[in-house]
Copies of this chain bind each other. A is one copy, B any other.
Amino acid sequence: MSSTEIAYEKKEHIMDIAEKLFAEYGYEAVSTRKLAADAQVNIAMISYYFGSKEDLYLAVIERRILSLRTATHIIDDKHMTHLDKLLHLVDMIIDRFFENRLFHQIMYREMGMSNRSKIFNFMMDKWLHNFNILKHIIEDGIQKKVFKKVDAGFTILTIIGTPRMYVQSDHMAQKIMNLKSLDEVYMLEMKNRLKNHLKDLITNHLSK
């Protein structure tokens, strides 16, 4: 293993710990000392690797944003119905929420704040692009009369808001659902229940 690989792993390790702490306590509430202690590195390493605490924060976010692809292969598929496309996208969205729980906690908390920096406008643009894809499918379906005349904008808020509610408010959702643990088996079960619920909901909402 080369030194650059070790440095890379160390950087990633710091980012992993940072992501966890930022998601759990929020950016301001996490001190560089607490961060360094949890990651078991010297405080100076944060500046050394990332420049500053804020740059680390942005790096943590950027790492996840880059992994968010657009599902063009679904959107452009000529053989899928409007509803099938939508249900596939719902599936993808929920998978992403569960894959990147910590990131979503950070991101949506940030979106509720007053504009913090350029990266969030970038993040916003990325998401708005995805939202507009959903919106376009719904509106196109309405125009082609395969969907009921629903409020497309708020329908998207429901599609995003439901998994967000579950993922972002861990403790709360856990109690609503009467969950006892948060282990992987439960998580998978919950994810599937969520998918079924949302797909059912959307199907009934849009079908004539």
Q: Footprint of B on A, CB under 8 Å?
A: 24-29, 105, 108-109, 111-115, 124, 127-128, 131, 135, 150-151, 153-158, 160-162, 164-166, 168-173, 175-178, 193-194, 196-198, 200-201, 204-205
Residues from chain B with a CB closer than 8 A to the CB of A24 are 113-114
CB pair B165–A135 under 8 Å, yes or no, is: no
- How many copies the complex holds: the figure is 2
Question: CB < 8 Å: which of B105, B154, B194 contacts A197?
Answer: B154
Residues from chain B with a CB closer than 8 A to the CB of A173 are 157
Expressed in whole angstroms, the Cα–Cα distance for A171 and B160 within the complex equals 15
CB pair B204–A176 under 8 Å, yes or no, is: no
CB pair A154–B150 under 8 Å, yes or no, is: no
Closest residue of chain B to A114 (Cβ to Cβ) is B24
Question: CB < 8 Å: which of B157, B169, B177 contacts A162?
Answer: B157
CB pair A155–B197 under 8 Å, yes or no, is: yes
Residues from chain B with a CB closer than 8 A to the CB of A197 are 150-151, 154-155, 158
Instruction: Write 8 A-B pairs (CB below 8 A) sorted by A numbering.
Output: A28-B28, A108-B169, A112-B169, A124-B172, A154-B197, A155-B197, A158-B197, A161-B165
CB pair B128–A176 under 8 Å, yes or no, is: yes
Residues from chain B with a CB closer than 8 A to the CB of A177 are 153
